[in-house]
Amino acid sequence: MATVEPILLEEAVDSLWRGIVQEVREEYLSETQRYPWIVGFSGGKDSTLVAHAVFEALLSIPPSARTRPVHIVSNDTLVESPFVVSHLDSVTEQLSLAAENLDLPITVARTRPDVDKTFWSLLIGKGYPSPNSNMRWCTDRLKIMPTSGYIKRHISDYGAAIVVLGVRRTESIKRQQTIDRYRNLRESRLNEHNDLAGAFVFRPIVDLDTDDVWELLGSMDAPWGGTHAALFKLYRDAEGGECPVVLSKEEAPGCGTSNSRFGCWTCTVVEKDRSLQGYIDSGNHEYKPLVDFRDWLKSIRNDPQRRQAMRRNGRLTFDATGRHIPGPFTIQARKEILEQLLVTQDLFGSQIISKAELDFIYDTWAKELQQDTGVADGKLW
């Protein structure tokens, strides 16, 4: 029996994978709709497996039949953990080169927030309090809006688009409920996206569990070259999971939870950044200034001395119990945050905030001070 079980396991894994690739192939060749595919790619295990399946399916199709365009789209919030960005840069470059060399109809793209909606522009420029579980403004501005905008542009060009996602029912109870609610009763592989009109969702690995995903990734080389060894190391060093591709507020709870432990290094929604700490514990001590800054930013969030009394709409706000809800950070607090950030940037040794963001921040401060003082040429301090 000892010599038979591994063979049976290998056959089961192979059969499972062939079924997934065949499903992807059939859906790609579907004659009922010929809309472009947009594959959400975070660089994590689930989206990597989906991209792997798409590559294999396309390679099994004659070149003359590869007529549907495929976009592999990742999102950069501009405050992603540096080790995630490094991995994503490496893999997407491999994807792009392989697609070109193999003559596959694949475009590799990266979405980013506009300069007036970046984390630093909103936090330091406009004084948004750092995100928490009750006020998670970051997900919409940094993730949903940039990627949804990319999808909407292709919906506008083609009339509709198919969003291919690596979501799975077993990721969480919340995700399972969402998938079950929108699953097409006619057993179609596609269902309409709840928030993006004209977008349909295809989930080729929806019924896999976590062990299935790792088993498959560990048993195959990447079709764009090399192995998935770097991905295994990323998870091992970062102690866990990734923040998924998020396209709606309903999916946002996956961001900043114990189920998604690496993503933005600035995340103040979680109590402790276990991923960066895991990298530091693995010997990457250069990340310590980032953890220190993030912890300090979380600690000052609710300091009344650093918050304005009024909200940005000029109103005093109270909750149902009569408790005052403070407004944004004061400009003096924003200046303090920026100074701490620039010190952190020097200690880290790589750019954290861009010149365009700094220009936006200074311009926002100047406009606010002019409004407050009524002086046409007010000074910042």
Predicted local confidence at residue 380, as pLDDT = 47
Neighbours of 321 (CB within 10 A): 5
pLDDT of residue 247: 58
User: Quick one: pLDDT at residue 2?
Assistant: 44
Domains of the chain: 5-254 (3.40.50.620), 274-373 (no CATH)
Q: Which residues of the chain have pLDDT under 50?
A: 1-4, 172-179, 181, 184-186, 253, 258-260, 375-381
Which pLDDT value is given to residue 138? 92
- In this structure, the number of other CB atoms found within 10 A of the CB of residue 44 comes to 24
Q: Which residues pair with 135 in a beta bridge?
A: 132
Given a contact cutoff of 8 angstroms between Cβ atoms, the answer to whether 241 and 262 are in contact is yes
Residue 350's pLDDT is 95
- Contact present, 78 and 143 (Cβ < 8 Å): no
Q: Is 109 helix (H, G, I), strand (E, B) or coil?
A: strand
Segment (H or E) for 200: strand 199-202
Q: What's the pLDDT score for residue 173?
A: 45
Cβ proximity of 303 and 365 under 8 Å: no
**What is the per-residue pLDDT for 260?**
44
Instruction: Specify the pLDDT at position 241.
Output: 54
3-state helix, strand, coil in the chain (%, to 5): 50, 10, 40
For residue 146, report the phi and psi dihedrals to the nearest 5 degrees: -65, -45
Q: What is the pTM of this model?
A: 0.84
Q: Residue 160: count other Cβ atoms within 10 Å of its Cβ.
A: 17
